[in-house]
Every structure is written in structure tokens, then in C-alpha cells.
Amino acid sequence: MRVFLAGLALAAGFLTGCSGPGPADGTLAGHLYGVGGPAPGLPRPWPGTVTLTGPGVHQDVSVGADGSYSVAVPAGRYTVVGRSPLYESDAALCRATEAVTVTSGHTTTADVLCQMS
């Protein structure tokens, strides 16, 4: 009977997608914005690419015309930088204000800002 119950528990874990120990996914989302420039200098959503660098991850993610992106990643700490064809300066200037920590089962926001002169 114990073997049968253990087999049922194993099958239930398999069917529900339980994969054992390890970092679970969270979501990293945000926008790529151009900021500054001529008055009023408000943030403008830009298309382009954001690059995520974190625990075992170096991934480019496309940014839509509305400037938004969203991607599932393993839990951990990430730096986020961006590039846009609308920005003619060094891509290193397009970045989130700080590294972000993604937690399992949650959405973390990291907006990437391209500073205009």
C-alpha cells in the first residue's frame, strides 16, 4: 500500500508540472523609454531590444512599438540594458536605474531609459 501511495504522489507531481528543487520562474517586464531632449522631455516609448543578464542568463528580448517587453526568467538578480534604432548614442546609456531581483511567481518591473541631450 505504501508503494502504491508513493507512486500516486510521484505521478501527481509529474502531472502538475512539479520539477523538484531549483529556481522557479518569475516575470521581468517593463518599457524602453527615450527621456529628456526638447521640452517637455517626457518619457516616450521606443521600439528596440533589451538585454537581460543574470544567473546563467544573457538574453535579448524584442521590445514592441509601444516600448513594452515581458519575459519569464529564473528567479535571481538581473541587469537590464537596451538599444533602440531611435537612439543614436552609446547603448550603454540605455539602462534600468539599478539591478533588479526577480522572485518566483511574481512580476518585477524594470524600465530602461535612454537619456537624450
Could you tell me the pLDDT band of residue 41, with boundaries at 50, 70 and 90? confident
Q: How far apart are CA 46 and CA 109, in angstroms?
A: 17
pLDDT, one tens digit per residue, over 59-73 is 999 999 999 999 999
Mean residue pLDDT across the chain: 80
pLDDT, one tens digit per residue, over 83-106 is 998 887 655 578 998 999 999 999
pTM comes to 0.73
User: By the 8 A CB rule, do 94 and 87 touch?
Assistant: yes
User: By the 8 A CB rule, do 114 and 96 touch?
Assistant: no
Q: What is the pLDDT of residue 10?
A: 35
Q: How far apart are CA 100 and CA 85, in angstroms?
A: 25
Q: What is the 3-state secondary structure (H, E, C) of the chain?
A: CHHHHHHHHHHHHHHCCCCCCCCCEEEEEEEEEEEECCCCCCCEECCEEEEEEECCEEEEEEECCCCEEEEEEECEEEEEEEECCCCCCCHHHEECCCCEEECCCCEEECCEEEEEC
**CATH fold of 23-116:** Immunoglobulin-like (2.60.40)
Could you tell me the pLDDT band of residue 45, with boundaries at 50, 70 and 90? very high
